[in-house]
A and B are shown apart, each in its own frame.
Chain A
Amino acid sequence: MIKNVAVLIAVIGLVAIFLPIISGFQERDELNELAAQYVEGSINELRVPNVVTSVIVTYRGLDTLGEVTVLFLATVGVGLILKGKKEDRIKISASELLETTSSVLVAMIMVLGIYIFTHGHLTPGGGFQGGVVIASGFLLLLLSNVSLKMNHSIMHFVESLSGVAYVAIGVAGIVLTVGFLNPEVLPLGKFGNLLSAGAVPVIYSLIGIKVGSELTSILVTMGGEK
């Protein structure tokens, strides 16, 4: 009873905290100075049409590196917490149809994923979204129990190398240009092209690969390791 009252007070209190924000909220009309700088910079300096991508990969690249790290930590952490055992594995009595179609489907999904992250600087979407798509492909494999062995060490290898490559490009930024994670280590190219915007697509692709492998790792660990 006391607890219910306390919960009520807590929730009402939270409402009281947020109420002034709602009542004082004004929809903005204009970009603030910083955002405007981003938009201008993305188009003119980095030649990246997708401003969000340029913010993610370049301007706030350190965040993204951190974010990848968080996901990596989650992978490792889940692995540490769950002692994977074979019997825990999810078994779905996959029909033959599913097995065959899934192989085809997976290939298509993979292609889609790769497309998404390579075009991250041009269109909405990018490394994360592409990575998830790839992971969902693996998920399908996992569920359909096709005989395709998901070799864990390869997974780790891909995961590690893509991460290291990401960091390496960042370091190249220090060595070759002015700062860590500067995309100008590669030529900026022409605005709107696939191979443009310096290292942005490369980084986003690496992110895509890394996120994909990490998410797959999590799925595999949660679903039951081989």
Chain B
Amino acid sequence: MIPIIIIGLGIIMIAAAFAAIYFKSLLASIITAGVISLLASVIYLILGSPDVAMTEASIGSGLTTVIFLFALHRVRKGNSDD
């Protein structure tokens, strides 16, 4: 059962990774990348590392995404300035 979950998650994550790379929209890419981190924290839980899972969920998928979004916002705003 667990291997299947992992394989499933893995496939989703890899697909998401490709999606994150190839999305035209940066916003979508950033969100997708955040999703990858979130799924990764599930994997960590399965692998017996709840500490890591918590950290990944909060930092990897949470804060990092926010920082990306902030940066994107600044860039966008700068863009609209011209």
Contacts and interface: CB of A to CB of B under 8 A. Distances in A.
A52 B59 CA distance: 18
A172 interface: no
Interface in A117-145: 124-126, 128-129, 132-133, 135-136, 139
A172 B82 CA distance: 56
A116 B57 CA distance: 14
B74 A136 contact: no
A135 B55 CA distance: 13
Contacts of A88: 74, 77
B55 A129 contact: yes
B61 to A, nearest CB: 11
B58 A136 contact: yes
Pick from A53, A125, A126 the residue with the most CB of B within 10 Å. A125
Interface in B50-82: 50-51, 53-55, 58-59, 62-63, 66-67, 70-71, 73-74, 77
B54 A125 contact: yes
Interface string B20-48: 00000000000000000000000000000
A143 B54 CA distance: 23
Interface residues of A, number: 22
Contacts of A139: 66
A219 interface: yes
Contacts of B70: 90, 219, 222-223
A52 B73 CA distance: 37
Given A50-B51, A124-B51, A125-B51, A132 B67 contact: no
Contact of B62 (A126, A132, A223): A132
A90 B63 contact: no
Q: Is the interface of A mostly helix, strand, loop or mixed?
A: helix
Contacts of B74: 88, 222, 224
B63 A132 contact: yes
B67 A219 contact: yes
Given A88-B77, A128-B59, A219 B54 contact: no
Contacts of A215: 63
A155 to B, nearest CB: 16
Contacts of A50: 51
Contacts of A219: 63, 66-67, 70
23 contacts: A52-B49, A52-B51, A53-B51, A88-B74, A88-B77, A90-B73, A116-B54, A124-B50, A125-B50, A126-B51, A128-B55, A129-B51, A129-B55, A132-B59, A132-B62, A132-B63, A133-B58, A136-B58, A136-B62, A136-B63, A215-B63, A219-B70, A222-B67
Interface of B: 49-51, 53-55, 58-59, 62-63, 66-67, 70-71, 73-74, 77
